[in-house]
Amino acid sequence: MLTPDRMGAVFERLSREICFVVDAEWRIRWLDERAKRVLHLDEGASLREACAPGGAEKLDRLSTTARSPEGCKDPWEVVVVIDGAPRVLALHAAMLEDGSLAVLGSTVPEAYAQALSQVSTTLSEMTSLHRESDRQQRELLRRHEELVRVHRDLDESTRGVVALHAELGDKDSSLRRANEVKTRLVANVSHELRTPINSILGLTKLLLERSDGELNSEQEKQLGFVKQSAESLNALVDDMLELSRVEAGRILLRTAKFPLPGLVASMRGMLKPLAASPNVDLIFEQAPNIELEQDEAKISQVLRNLVANALKFTERGSVRVTATAEGDHVVLSVADTGIGIPLPEQDRIFDEFYQVDSPVQKRVKGTGLGLTLSRRLADRLGGSLTVESREGIGSTFRFRIPIVHPEAREMHELERRSDEAPAGLAPILVVEDDRQTLFLYEKYLRGAGFNVVPARTVDDARAALRKINPAAIVLDVMLDGETSWQFLRDLKNNPETREIPTLVVTVTTSGEAMARALGADEFHLKPLDREWLVLKLRALARLGAVERVLVIDDDQVSRYLVRKHLEGLPYEVLEAAAGLEGVRLARERRPNVIFLDFVLPEMSAFDVLDELKKDPATRNIPVIIHTSKDLAVEERRRLEAEASAIVHKQSLSREVAIGRIREALEKAGIHGRHGGKE
Amino acid sequence: MARDYLRAQLAGDRREAVRLIEEALAAGTSVRELHLSVIEPAQREVGRLWQENAISVAGEHLATSISQLVLARLYPHLPRSAGNGRRAVVACIEGEHHELGARMGADFLEMEGFDVRFLGANVPRESLVALVVETSPDVVGLSVAMTFNIPELEATVEAIRAALDPAPTILVGGHVVEESPEIADRLGLCILGSNAEHLVVRCKEKLGC
């Protein structure tokens, strides 16, 4: 049942409004329960003092308004600090009879207040974020600019370095050009000088021989001086020429094997006459017994120079030549007890025309090129020339060279690789005198399925052709033109070799007509072009049957079996049913290997072997004895000596056939090469 | 101009407010002048109007948020001097929501070449101290508008001084120092003045730059 009392209680509970009465100073005189709860104030407390900054003034304005005739219409918002936190109150006020104010206040709902403050906080945070991102963007921009600047700096310095490089390159090539010009000039001038010097020497000799009448002693003395001067001029020109040749890289090495003791012995014989002074002993110590593969003449030249030098600067004591082995090198040292070389000068004595300033130096003659030349030659021999010296005690020159010249070693390597090339690689005979070019050929052809058999002279090539049957020949006509053309002529006139495709390589186009006329199958201008070379050789090379196998057997089935076993392999199989026919075929067709049946009707296997050994053309062809007979001890012993292998017919298979042929060819290759050199 | 801006603010017309500012900017009015002659007086007027009971708390919030937006718009256009190598941290202390003045001060410091980190309103004391330790600034500007936040100001200053030795120069600004300037003396602080321009002058005085 609705009663005003009960409704009043409900409204009381729902109401958010507070009621209180204040005096003119906003001191609370009375307040209801809700006001007590909200404001946390009691009677007597001052609302003015509880206000946030600006609030007190606002309360005063509210009093004035409430006391005015119009009274208070709109609510006044005042911030009151309650328990340290601001709270907004909207106040209405009316004047009571006693002059105090009745105030009705309402609080903005807590949730609204909080939402409002949240919104404002969010806004603040967002603007802060905006600010921060802007700041970071500026920082990025600054870093970017810095990077751009650094980049520009780097770019500039890179350009500087590049420019510097180019400049150095220019300087380098112009220096090289200048040096080349100098070398050429020296060579030309030297040649031009030689002719008149020879004339002077010749004429002086004639005069000294009194061929145009008697000379008085003064004239003879003068002519002696002329001769002496011309001779030293001649020595100078010789040295300069030699040096210019070394510098132009035009010194051809002629490496050969020779024993070291032999070299030392011949040096002793040659140089003894130079040791004219009784106060100086020229001693050659016993050299170790080593075989060198080097350019003997060049080594002699350097040694001669060193010994002559040592003798020049040694007034008493000895000049001692010692040879010692140091691993794969040999050190030839020339030690003297001469004047020695001051330390600062020790490096410079190898410079052109450099001479140590000393009284002795002034007395002895010299071109000033001897040591320069010696050092260059030592370099060319793959070694070095150094000096150790103490003033007043003596000097020791150490001339250190490899026992086998690197180029010779590389050649051996190339030959070894060629020998050990797996079967199936087509052998290409390359006739080329320059080692480096040979290596180039090997590099180009190895990967393409060819095996380079090197020949550095036409003689080597002829020897190689006696041993192998190449799939093609590459002939370089630079090496002594006429000899090469003759080789080509012979190659194409010989029915044995006529069919081998031959590719001629030259440096001038003028050779082409000649090459074609002599029967060359292809012609190419240097420089070598790998693609072209491989393409042509693939087309030309007789890749089908690179090895010829001769089977001498009266039994048709045995012959058939060998042929069958070798079918599909790069072998050409020749057949002979009898011994005589076999020997004839061997001579005519030069097989790479012969299968010989031990039991033949007219002629024994031993007879066939004897026949083959008689003829140099067939002597080196390896023979595999192919037999079904159990051999007697004596027979076996003899066959083992004369044939490459013995194969029982019952054990023949494809693998055995190929294996034996390969072994036989390898053996023959090694044997043949040794034979060729001897 | 200031009156038009205030009118747009009170009407809640943020587009108009932004348009007015951008127009002035395009016409060559400096950012500094817009700060000092338009936004600052308008904000003071908003405060006065509330005091006069002419606008409500909600109206005040609305007007202020429009100024926030405008300041954010102006921020990228600040004419920045070359960096002076000094770092500053500007923040309103915990419980203090009146951040506009602090923001303007921060902008002015930036224009002078300070490297400024502005942390905004109501920054929890711990975060504020941590950031000060992290950036080790030459100067810390704290803004306090309401007197009831004075105890928090004291606690914050104490915390900063305890965390950093030597402590940075701490400046205090905002309505509270206009109300009770003695607070600065009591805390051994420097008053940074009543507006952004004063802040800059004080900062430069204190740092000798």
- Tell me phi and psi for residue A355, to 5 degrees: -135, 140
**Quick one: angle between helices B40-51 and B57-74, nearest 10?**
180
Q: Is B152 on the interface with A (CB under 8 A)?
A: no
**Quick one: angle between helices A481-493 and A458-467, nearest 10?**
20
Closest partner residue to A131 (CB to CB) among B57, B61, B75 is B75
What letters, b where the CB count within 10 A reaches 16 and e where it falls short, cover B4-18? Answer: ebbebbbeeebebbb
Confidence of residue B194 (pLDDT cuts 50, 70, 90): low
Mean pLDDT in residue range A283-307: 90
**Average pLDDT across chain B, whole number:** 87
Structure tokens at A468: 């192998």
Q: Do B51 and A53 touch (CB under 8 A)?
A: no
The pLDDT score that the predictor gives to residue A672 is 32
Tell me: pLDDT of B207 over 80: no
Q: Which of A72, A107, A112, A128 to mutate to test the interface with B (most CBs of B within 10 A)?
A: A128
Cβ–Cβ < 8 Å for B132, B160: yes
> Could you report the predicted ipTM of this complex, rounded to two decimals?
0.76
Q: Do A125 and B52 touch (CB under 8 A)?
A: no
In whole angstroms, what is the distance from residue A231 CA to residue A223 CA? Answer: 12
In whole angstroms, what is the distance from residue A512 CA to residue A525 CA? Answer: 9
Cβ–Cβ < 8 Å for A208, A178: no
Q: Do B99 and A124 touch (CB under 8 A)?
A: yes
**Quick one: angle between helices B40-51 and B2-11, nearest 10?**
50
* Cβ contacts of B65 on chain A, cutoff 8 Å: 119-120, 123
Compute the half-sphere exposure of residue B186: CA atoms within 13 Å on the CB side of its CA: 10
In whole angstroms, what is the distance from residue B98 CA to residue B63 CA? Answer: 13
Distance in Å, alpha carbon of B201 to nearest chain A alpha carbon: 23
* Cβ contacts of A106 on chain B, cutoff 8 Å: none
Q: Which helix (H) or strand (E) holds B190?
A: strand B190-191
The pLDDT score that the predictor gives to residue B8 is 93
SS (H, E, C) A114-167: HHHHHHHHHHHHHHHHHHHHHHHHHHHHHHHHHHHHHHHHHHHHHHHHHHHHHH
**Average pLDDT across chain A, whole number:** 82
Residue A395 vs residues A165, A320, A322, A357, A612: alpha-carbon distances, Å: 42, 11, 14, 16, 63
- Amino acid code (one letter) for A262: G
pLDDT tens-digit readout, A20-62:
999 988 999 999 888 888 888 888 889 988 888 778 888 988 8
The pLDDT score that the predictor gives to residue A479 is 57
Mean pLDDT in residue range B18-45: 91
In whole angstroms, what is the distance from residue B15 CA to residue A641 CA? Answer: 116
The pLDDT score that the predictor gives to residue A362 is 59
Distance in Å, alpha carbon of B12 to nearest chain A alpha carbon: 15
Cβ–Cβ < 8 Å for A366, A358: no
The pLDDT score that the predictor gives to residue A322 is 93
Q: Do B61 and A119 touch (CB under 8 A)?
A: yes
Q: Do A61 and B53 touch (CB under 8 A)?
A: yes
In whole angstroms, what is the distance from residue A279 CA to residue A317 CA? Answer: 6
Structure tokens at A529: 């072009």
- Amino acid code (one letter) for A519: G
CA quadruple B173, B178, B184, B185: dihedral positive or negative?
positive
Q: Could you tell me which chain A residue has the CA closest to the CA of B110?
A: A135
CA quadruple A264, A269, A272, A273: dihedral positive or negative?
negative
pLDDT tens-digit readout, A202-217:
888 888 888 778 888 8
Q: Could you tell me which chain A residue has the CA closest to the CA of B106?
A: A131
* Highest-scoring range by mean pLDDT, A64-78, A315-329, A471-485, A631-645: A315-329
For B111, residues 6+ apart whose C-beta sits below 8 A from its C-beta are: B31, B32, B78, B79, B80, B81, B200
pLDDT tens-digit readout, A497-553:
887 888 888 776 677 777 888 888 888 877 777 787 887 777 777 554 457 889 998
For A373, residues 6+ apart whose C-beta sits below 8 A from its C-beta are: A239, A242, A243, A246, A305
Mean pLDDT in residue range A250-270: 84
For chain A, give the longest Cα–Cα distance: 180
Mean pLDDT in residue range A171-196: 79
Tell me: pLDDT of A250 over 70: no
In whole angstroms, what is the distance from residue A77 CA to residue A90 CA? Answer: 4
In whole angstroms, what is the distance from residue A299 CA to residue A263 CA? Answer: 9
Closest partner residue to A88 (CB to CB) among B57, B99, B118 is B57
The pLDDT score that the predictor gives to residue A675 is 31
Q: Do A121 and B50 touch (CB under 8 A)?
A: no
Cβ–Cβ < 8 Å for A566, A657: yes
* Cβ contacts of B50 on chain A, cutoff 8 Å: 54, 77
Closest partner residue to A120 (CB to CB) among B65, B69, B151 is B65
The pLDDT score that the predictor gives to residue A407 is 81
The pLDDT score that the predictor gives to residue A162 is 86
3-state secondary structure of A500: coil
Tell me: pLDDT of A436 over 80: no
Q: How many CB atoms lie within 10 A of CB A265?
A: 14
Cβ–Cβ < 8 Å for A31, A39: yes
Closest partner residue to B51 (CB to CB) among A54, A108, A131 is A54
Q: A235 versus A377: which is more confidently predicted? A: A377
Tell me: pLDDT of B84 over 50: yes
Confidence of residue A7 (pLDDT cuts 50, 70, 90): confident
In whole angstroms, what is the distance from residue A589 CA to residue A548 CA? Answer: 8
In chain A, % of residues over pLDDT 90: 9
The pLDDT score that the predictor gives to residue A674 is 30
Tell me, what DSSP letter sits at residue A572? E
pLDDT tens-digit readout, A584-597:
888 888 888 898 88
**Quick one: angle between helices B57-74 and B2-11, nearest 10?**
120
> Cis peptide before B166, with omega less than 30 degrees from 0?
yes
What letters, b where the CB count within 10 A reaches 16 and e where it falls short, cover A438-448? Answer: bbbbbebbeee
Tell me, what DSSP letter sits at residue A631? P
In whole angstroms, what is the distance from residue A333 CA to residue A448 CA? Answer: 48
pLDDT tens-digit readout, A552-580:
988 888 888 888 777 766 677 888 988 88
Distance in Å, alpha carbon of A121 to nearest chain B alpha carbon: 7
Question: What is the residue-wise DSSP string for A21-86?
Answer: EE-TT-BEEEE-HHHHHHH---TT-BHHHHBPTTHHHHHHHHHHHHHSSS---S-EEEEEEETTEE
Q: A487 versus A189: which is more confidently predicted? A: A487
Q: How many CB atoms lie within 10 A of CB A346?
A: 16
Q: Is B146 on the interface with A (CB under 8 A)?
A: yes
Helices within A365-457 (DSSP H only): 370-380, 406-419, 435-446
Cβ–Cβ < 8 Å for A340, A304: no
The pLDDT score that the predictor gives to residue A336 is 92
- Tell me phi and psi for residue B69, to 5 degrees: -60, -45
For chain B, give the longest Cα–Cα distance: 49
Confidence of residue A266 (pLDDT cuts 50, 70, 90): confident
Q: Do B122 and A124 touch (CB under 8 A)?
A: yes
Q: Chain A: which residues have CB within 8 Å of chain B?
A: 52-54, 57-58, 61-62, 74, 76-77, 81, 84, 86, 88, 108, 116-117, 119-121, 123-125, 127-128, 130-131, 134
Tell me: pLDDT of A397 over 90: yes
Q: Is B68 on the interface with A (CB under 8 A)?
A: yes
Q: Do A117 and B58 touch (CB under 8 A)?
A: no
- Tell me phi and psi for residue A220, to 5 degrees: -65, -40
Measuring CA to CA, which residue among B169, B181, B116, B114 is closest to residue B144?
B181
Tell me: pLDDT of A678 over 60: no
Threshold 0.80, pTM exceeds:
no
Residue A432 backbone zone (phi > 0: left; psi -120 to 50: alpha; other: beta): beta
Closest partner residue to A128 (CB to CB) among B52, B118, B148 is B118
Is beta strand A76-82 parallel, antiparallel or unpaired with respect to A85-95?
Answer: antiparallel
Q: Which of A123, A125, A142 to mutate to test the interface with B (most CBs of B within 10 A)?
A: A123
pLDDT tens-digit readout, B97-144:
888 888 998 999 888 888 899 988 888 999 999 999 998 999 999 988
Distance in Å, alpha carbon of B159 to nearest chain A alpha carbon: 20
The pLDDT score that the predictor gives to residue B132 is 92
Tell me: pLDDT of A363 over 70: no
Interface of B with A in 76-135 (CB under 8 A): 76, 97, 99, 103, 118-122
Mean pLDDT in residue range A164-171: 86
The pLDDT score that the predictor gives to residue A422 is 63
Instruction: Using CB atoms within 10 Å of the CB of residue A471, give its burial: 0 to 12 exposed, 13 to 18 middle, 19+ buried.
Output: buried
Cβ–Cβ < 8 Å for A424, A439: no
Distance in Å, alpha carbon of B4 to nearest chain A alpha carbon: 24
Structure tokens at A47: 């609302």
Q: How many CB atoms lie within 10 A of CB B185?
A: 10
In whole angstroms, what is the distance from residue A446 CA to residue A456 CA? Answer: 18
